[in-house]
Structures are given as C-alpha cells and as structure tokens.
Amino acid sequence: MAFKLFSGIRPFTRAGALRDALAGITLASMNIPQLLGYARIAGMPAVTGLYTGFLPLIAFALFGSSRHLVVAADSATATILADKLSGMAVPGSGAYLMLIGAVTLLTAALLLIARIFRLGFLADFLSRTVLAGFLAGVGVQVGVAMLGDMLGLQVTSSRTVGQIGQVAAHLAWTHGPTLAISALVVAAILGFRAYKPAWPVPLAIVVASIAASDLGNFAGHGIAVIGPIASGLPTLHLPHFGWRELAQLLTIAVSCFAVIIAQSAATSRTYAQRYGERVDENANLLGLAAANAAAALSGTFVVNGSLTQTAMAEQSGARSQFAQIVFAALIVVVLLFLSRWLQYLPHCVLASVVFTIAVGMIKPGTLRAILRESPGEFALALMTALAVVAAGVEDGLLLAIALSLFRHVRHSYRPHTMVLAPDAAGRWQPQTTRPGLMTAPGLIVYRFGSDLFYANEHRFTDEIRQLVDQAPGPVRWIVIDAGAITDIDYSAGRSMCELCAEMSARGVDIALARVSAYLRADMDRHRITSVIGAQNIYGTLHEALDAVHPQGPRPE
C-alpha cells in the first residue's frame, strides 16, 4: 500500500510557510477553546479536547492528502459517543474513558480497512450541489447552536429544532451583558472581514476578552467562562476493553466511521473545489485512520474532519497542513504553560467567533447560481440543507447522498430520447420523441440517451412500439442510434430480444448504429446479435443509413 508523506504540505515554500504559520496561530486562538467545548459534549475531561489537536492533527498532516481539512474533535462524532456510551458507564469516569478509547481504536481500524479496499470512491457521490446545500445546512446548524451561549441562556437540546425552541421559550431571560459582548464581537469580526479581511481580528478579540475577563471578574458578574483545565502532555497507552463489550462498541465505531467518511469527504471536496485542487480520498482515509489511532493512544476521543474548524482555518488564511502543524505546536505550548489563562475566556466570545464562521459557510451567490441554472438541483441543495438542520449532520449528509443517487437513477430511468425527423427544409433533425414522428417513408431513426437496464427497459421498448403503431405509414426499418448505450444488463437484453422477435413478426427489421466494442460484447453475451443479425450492426450512423435507406438525406 503505497503512500506519500506530507502530501497536504508539499510543495513547501518560504512564503507559504510564513502565511500558514500566521494562520495556524490565528486558528489556535479560535479553536483551542472550541476543542474544550467538544470534550464537554463527549462527556470527557476538558483537557482531552486539547489532546485531539495535538497528535491526531500531526498524524493526519503526515499521512493525509487534503491541504485544508482540519482533523480534530468534532460535534457530530462527540454527540454520537455521548449518546451511545453514557448508558454503559458514567461520563468522565475511568471506565468511560476506557470505552471511549476502545471505540476510537476500532474506528481507526475500520478506516484503515476502508483505505486497504480503496473506498475513497464513496466521495464521488457528493456532487457540488450536495456540498453547497450541506455547507449551508451546517452553517445554520452551527449558528443556532451558538445562540444559547451568545445570549447567556441554558440550552440542553442537541438538535437544531429543539435549540431554536428553547432559545425562543427563554428569550426573556437573556443576560444583557453577555448579549452586549456577543453583539460587539460579531459586529467587529464581520465588519473587519468586509474591509480588512487579512487582519487577525478573532485572535485579538480572544486575547482581549481573556484579559478583560481576568481584570473585570466577568464570572462574578454572571458572564460564563471556560473555567479551570488540567495541564501537561498526554501519556501514551493502549485502551483495554472486554470481549463481551466488543459487539456493542463495534456498532458505535461503525456509526462514527460512517459520519467520518461522509463528513470528511464532503469537507475536503468543498475546499479542494474552491481552490482548484485535487484530493486523494484514499490517502485521506489513511490519514484519518492514523489520526484516530493517535487519539486512542493519547487518551482522547474520536476525531473527524471538522467542517467548522476547516472553515476557521481557511478564513484564517491557511492553505496547507503546515498551519495545522503550527496549531499542534501551540497546543503543546498551551498544555505546558498557558492552560490556566484559558479559564477566563468567556463562553459568549467563543460562541460569537464560531457564529461568524457559520455565517461564512452559507454562500448565497452559489445557491443563486444553482437556482438560475438548474432549479431541480437547487431543490436537492435545499433538501440537503433542511435535512442537516432537522436531522443532524450525519443523517442529513447520508440522506443527501441517497437523494443524489436517486436523482441520478431518475435521469437514467427517464433519459432523453429523440427521433430523426425532417424539418421544414426537409433536413433530418433530432426531435423529442413523440408518437407519429417518422424519419422517412418506411424508416424510423430512434436514439436512446442512456444505458439499458432493468429500470428503463420498458420505456425503451414501449416507445419503439408506439412509434411503430402510430406511424403515419408502414414501417420497414428501425435504426437505433446506440451512441449513448454502453451497457445492457440481463433484463434489458431479454426485452430487446423479445422486441426484435416481435418486430420481425410484423415485418419490421431493426438495425443498431454507433455500436461500441463494449456494447457489442454485451449484445453477444445476451444473444441479441444472433436475433438482430450481425449484418444489421454498424459502427456509425451513416453506415446504417447507407444500408437501409441509401437515397435519403443525412443528419447534420
């Protein structure tokens, strides 16, 4: 299994390194407090959130391919862990930490298996339309999740709809000073983003808020702060678990695996497309496996390609994994020397910074372009966004993939079909199929715009029968333009044989034109060639028309 190291950093230049180093510092200022919040969601000690930004981050930078993806703690996987494991052990207890470590190690094993079997192709089912809707949905979801901390309200629901309901029900109890600080932070970040986007405003705000909170005793005035966290580097150890628990833990690991595959692929694809880059999803799988193995060994929980943190990195100016290396180095500095200062960071400042990131995830211009060019795909993007908001990231993204596949199958089920028919000047032009169209006396040239398979075989045979039944005169030849048909399955093969036999009994011969080598192999295997006759199979449409209608005009 060949792989390249540091693909997400190379090519490495002095200017790029300086840019990414500054971005890594800015990213750390915004993201370190957020990692503490993810640990709280997962039911883990706060310091384990910082651990996710140390060895796992380095492991992905070493083995992964994406230049932008930030692999650390994430709300989706943290929520799964808390929901599934809280019934097996008390959150935060030694037994709970062992279970978390076991699930994380099993998740790493599943990701490694996915890499061995090269399952990175699953990312190909994420279209640009799905990614735009997914990004908008996550933006709404993350923004709503921050409202409680921004208003000083207690929000307990893990679902967006429930959070909106709780905020609305308790709006009268909004804490005035907390709201004022939140509004000031949001206005400052969005204002500077519009006029001075290169300035590290979030970093300055975080530092200033920590100093103000310490000097002004924010906690004493009812403004919630992070609180004390432990210091020191993680110790490496292998998690232990009993065989009796393996089946249940494996089920949880499969849930985390599915979310990681879908969300990481969606995130890496989004930013690769934005910067015109190519990304090796199989290499990313190896990087994600290594990151989760590092998380398990360092006593923390499942890590994922985080859309929120990747958006933070991009808006900080990061353009390669070197920014994440700098971020990891700053995590070490914080763990060793600065952890005590983080306790003064107000929750509302952190939430406001994340809220502005969420606003940036929603791209109205992209959505308007999709609506203008393809209303059907815009509906898919909108359904994806609504699914993410209503059902969560994991369910919403899986539903979006299913809808994309359904849309593709629907296109194949009802492909465009055409008949060559004379225009006003007598020239043969392709026209949308309808009963009564005829190419020339005794001749119908019919084109089917998709592969033939069990779902569309009846459309194919029914249209040909209708064309023959409702033709304005007797039909002697049907020429099928098979340029778009590259594959025929067993069901379609049987239907075509039956159609050919039926048409032959009615005195109508069928010829196929523009038959590729792949299609000819399928026709031979399904015995269609013997039914039609090898002499009635042609490589080009002109050859077929010369054989069955030599005096007629030709399509342009």
Q: Name the band, by pLDDT with cuts 50, 70 and 90, for residue 118.
A: confident
The amino acid present at 171, given as its one-letter code, is L
Q: Name the band, by pLDDT with cuts 50, 70 and 90, for residue 397.
A: low
What angle do helix axes 364-373 and 375-391 make, rounded to 10 degrees?
140
In tens, the pLDDT along 274-301 reads: 888 888 888 899 999 999 999 999 999 9
Q: Name the band, by pLDDT with cuts 50, 70 and 90, for residue 552.
A: low
Average pLDDT value for residue range 122-148: 81
| pLDDT attached to residue 150 | 94
In tens, the pLDDT along 26-47 reads: 888 778 877 887 787 788 888 8
CA angle centred on 540, ends 536 and 543, rounded to 5°: 60
Furthest CA-CA distance within the chain: 97
Return the C-alpha torsion angle 160, 303, 202, 16, nearest 10: -140
In tens, the pLDDT along 59-85 reads: 999 999 999 999 999 877 887 888 788
Distances (CA, A) of 199 to 223, 424, 462: 27, 65, 65
Question: In angstroms, rounded to a whole number, what is the distance separating the alpha carbons of residues 34 and 38?
Answer: 6
Distances (CA, A) of 52 to 46, 241, 263, 291: 11, 21, 17, 9
Question: In angstroms, rounded to a whole number, what is the distance separating the alpha carbons of residues 331 and 72?
Answer: 12
Average pLDDT value for residue range 335-358: 86
Question: In angstroms, rounded to a whole number, what is the distance separating the alpha carbons of residues 467 and 41?
Answer: 63
Average pLDDT value for residue range 486-509: 94
| pLDDT attached to residue 545 | 92
Question: In angstroms, rounded to a whole number, what is the distance separating the alpha carbons of residues 319 and 272?
Answer: 10
| pLDDT attached to residue 37 | 75
Residue 316 burial (CB count, 10 A): 25
Residue 18 burial (CB count, 10 A): 11
Q: Taking 90 as the threshold, does the pLDDT of residue 217 lie above it?
A: yes
Question: In angstroms, rounded to a whole number, what is the distance separating the alpha carbons of residues 496 and 500?
Answer: 6
Asked if 273 contacts 45 with a C-beta cutoff of 8 angstroms, the reply is no
Question: In angstroms, rounded to a whole number, what is the distance separating the alpha carbons of residues 423 and 553?
Answer: 12
| pLDDT attached to residue 394 | 65
| pLDDT attached to residue 266 | 80
Distance of CA 433 to the CA centre of its chain: 37
Least confident of 9-13, 299-303, 452-456: 9-13
Q: Name the band, by pLDDT with cuts 50, 70 and 90, for residue 123.
A: low
The token pair at 505 is 């009994």
DSSP conformation class of 88:
T
Q: Taking 70 as the threshold, does the pLDDT of residue 459 lie above it?
A: yes
pLDDT top residue among 406 and 298: 298
Q: Taking 70 as the threshold, does the pLDDT of residue 128 lie above it?
A: yes
Q: Taking 60 as the threshold, does the pLDDT of residue 1 lie above it?
A: no
| pLDDT attached to residue 197 | 74
Residue 386 burial (CB count, 10 A): 16
| pLDDT attached to residue 132 | 82
Asked if 316 contacts 23 with a C-beta cutoff of 8 angstroms, the reply is yes
Residues with Cβ within 8 Å of 495's Cβ and at least 6 positions away in sequence, in order, are 457, 458, 460, 461
Torsion angles phi and psi, residue 452, rounded to 5: -100, 125
Residue 379 burial (CB count, 10 A): 16
| pLDDT attached to residue 234 | 93
Share of the chain above pLDDT 70, in %: 97
Tell the residue number behind the tokens 């971020």, with chain if given.
327
What is the distance in angstroms between the CA of the first residue and the CA of the last residue of the chain? Answer: 51
Long-range interactions of 377-384: CB distance < 8 A, separation 24+: 377/127, 377/129, 377/407, 378/129, 380/129, 380/130, 380/133, 380/404, 380/407, 381/129, 381/130, 381/132, 381/133, 381/136, 382/133, 383/133, 384/129, 384/130, 384/133, 384/134, 384/137
* Residue 444 bridge partners (DSSP): 478
Distance of CA 9 to the CA centre of its chain: 22
Question: In angstroms, rounded to a whole number, what is the distance separating the alpha carbons of residues 417 and 473?
Answer: 21
- pTM (predicted TM-score): 0.71
* Residue 280 bridge partners (DSSP): none
pLDDT top residue among 181 and 309: 181
Distances (CA, A) of 533 to 144, 315, 464, 526, 537: 66, 64, 19, 13, 7
Mean pLDDT score across all residues of the chain: 88
| pLDDT attached to residue 10 | 80
Q: Name the band, by pLDDT with cuts 50, 70 and 90, for residue 130.
A: confident
* Residue 511 bridge partners (DSSP): 479
Tell the residue number behind the tokens 């990304």, with chain if given.
279
Q: Taking 90 as the threshold, does the pLDDT of residue 462 lie above it?
A: yes
Average pLDDT value for residue range 156-171: 89
Q: Name the band, by pLDDT with cuts 50, 70 and 90, for residue 553.
A: low
Asked if 100 contacts 85 with a C-beta cutoff of 8 angstroms, the reply is yes
Q: Name the band, by pLDDT with cuts 50, 70 and 90, for residue 176.
A: very high
Question: In angstroms, rounded to a whole number, what is the distance separating the alpha carbons of residues 367 and 511?
Answer: 45
| pLDDT attached to residue 299 | 94
Asked if 99 contacts 249 with a C-beta cutoff of 8 angstroms, the reply is yes
Question: In angstroms, rounded to a whole number, what is the distance separating the alpha carbons of residues 101 and 540?
Answer: 62
